């Protein structure tokens, strides 16, 4: 069928031929065209969901991917802000909704933005920055004491990790949370045994979204980045993994700074970790 002017959306689309039919023409042409479009979209999406992910090693993010830690952050930050002399009205501003948009770039960033939000100041305010070291001292004590008390492992995580372990794929946990807190949380939730190594935001010179932590983690696992896949919940993970040359799979239930995770390119987007079909790369 000849392409009608103004409706050719590009031949690189697998269903682009169908657009030729879905424009002014006979009713049966239009119905047939729309049907072909729907079928193509369903087929492409099914293919994306079901194709196995080849890997020789897997790196898994912690907050928002394995454990829902927002409750811990709320409680710990509220204690921290109280220690910093914040008014109850200021403390109440640092709630679950705010933290869902804020968590993921490490503790220094979290403390700075939480103090700024509580005090109604810009994130880059110099006075706020000067208070961060003091806030960190309070935060550390509270986090150690409360770590995991208001946090739950997401459904499908234990099952997903068990599937990876059964395939014999080496695993590392890579988070922007401080290493000591990550170790403590994984132990507490019975997940630590799956990981050959655990690296936090203080383990390397730079944090995700920089690729350095991914490259260092691949090195520790003894597997090339091209054979390693990161499972994460944010553009932070995707950006770091892609820049390091690793594949990335994204879970839909985590904390992506308020942006739709389906818009972040990945090998797959899943609702549970145990929905990922792995294939040991040979």
Range in contact with Mg ion (rule: CB under 5 A) among 140-148, 179-187, 229-237, 262-270:
229-237
177 binds, among Mg ion, ligand PGA, none (CB under 5 to 8 A by kind): ligand PGA
Assigned token pair, 259: 């942006």
117 binds, among Mg ion, ligand PGA, none (CB under 5 to 8 A by kind): none
Known binding positions for Mg(2+): 61, 63, 233
Supply the minimum distance, in Å, between the C-beta of residue 51 and Mg ion.
Answer: 24
Q: What is the dihedral of CA 241, 60, 103, 108, to 10 degrees?
A: -80
| Cβ contact 60:174 at 8 Å | yes
Q: Which is nearer to ligand PGA, 86 or 231 (CB)?
A: 231
Nearest to 22 by CA among 36, 41, 42: 36
Supply the minimum distance, in Å, between the C-beta of residue 209 and ligand PGA.
Answer: 10
* Alpha-carbon span 18 to 11, nearest angstrom: 10
Helix (H, G, I), strand (E, B) or coil at 58: strand
Q: Which is nearer to ligand PGA, 33 or 64 (CB)?
A: 64
- What does the binding site for ligand PGA look like in residue numbers (CB under 6 A)? 61-64, 103-107, 175-177, 208
Q: What distance, in Å, lies between the first and last C-alpha atoms of the chain? A: 44
Q: Which is nearer to ligand PGA, 33 or 104 (CB)?
A: 104
103 binds, among Mg ion, ligand PGA, none (CB under 5 to 8 A by kind): ligand PGA
Helix (H, G, I), strand (E, B) or coil at 229: strand
Instruction: List Cα–Cα distances, 136 to 71, 101, 261, in angstroms.
Output: 18, 20, 30
- Catalytic residue (one of 61, 68, 72, 237): 61
Q: Tell me the residue nearest to Mg ion as measured from the CB.
A: 64
Assigned token pair, 251: 């879970």
Give the orientation angle of helix 107-119 with respect to helix 70-83, to 10 degrees. Answer: 60
Supply the minimum distance, in Å, between the C-beta of residue 258 and ligand PGA.
Answer: 14
Supply the minimum distance, in Å, between the C-beta of residue 235 and ligand PGA.
Answer: 11
Assigned token pair, 176: 């922007």
| Cβ contact 39:210 at 8 Å | no
138 binds, among ligand PGA, Mg ion, none (CB under 5 to 8 A by kind): none
* Alpha-carbon span 256 to 269, nearest angstrom: 13
Q: Which is nearer to Mg ion, 119 or 143 (CB)?
A: 143
Annotated catalytic residue 61: yes
Q: Residue numbers of the site for Mg ion (CB under 5 A)? A: 61, 63-64, 233
Active-site residues, by number, are 61
């Amino acid at each position: 069928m000849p392409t009608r002017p103004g409706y050719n959306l590009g031949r690189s689309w697998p269903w682009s031929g169908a657009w030729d039919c879905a424009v002014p023409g006979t009713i049966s042409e239009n119905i047939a065209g729309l049907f072909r479009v729907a079928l193509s979209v369903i087929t492409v999406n099914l293919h994306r969901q079901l194709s196995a992910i080849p890997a020789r090693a897997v790196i898994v993010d912690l907050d928002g991917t394995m454990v829902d830690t927002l409750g811990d952050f709320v409680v710990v930050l509220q204690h921290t802000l109280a220690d910093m002399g914040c008014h109850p009205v200021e403390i109440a501003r640092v709630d679950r909704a705010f933290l869902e948009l804020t968590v993921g770039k490490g503790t220094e960033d979290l403390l700075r933005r939480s103090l700024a939000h509580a005090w109604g100041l810009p994130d880059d305010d110099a006075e706020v920055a000067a208070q961060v070291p003091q806030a960190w001292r309070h935060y550390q004590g509270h986090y150690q004491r409360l770590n995991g008390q208001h946090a739950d492992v997401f459904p499908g995580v234990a099952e997903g990790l068990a599937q990876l372990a059964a395939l014999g794929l080496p695993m590392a946990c890579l988070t922007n949370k401080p290493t000591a807190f990550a170790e403590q949380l994984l132990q507490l939730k019975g997940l630590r045994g799956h990981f050959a190594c655990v690296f936090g935001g203080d383990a390397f010179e730079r944090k995700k979204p920089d690729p350095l932590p991914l490259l260092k983690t691949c090195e520790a696992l003894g597997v090339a980045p091209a054979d390693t896949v990161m499972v994460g919940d944010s553009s932070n993970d995707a950006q770091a993994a892609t820049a390091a040359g690793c594949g990335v799979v994204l879970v839909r239930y985590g904390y992506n700074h308020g942006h739709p995770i389906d818009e972040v390119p990945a090998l797959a987007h899943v609702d549970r970790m145990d929905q990922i079909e792995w294939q040991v790369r040979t």
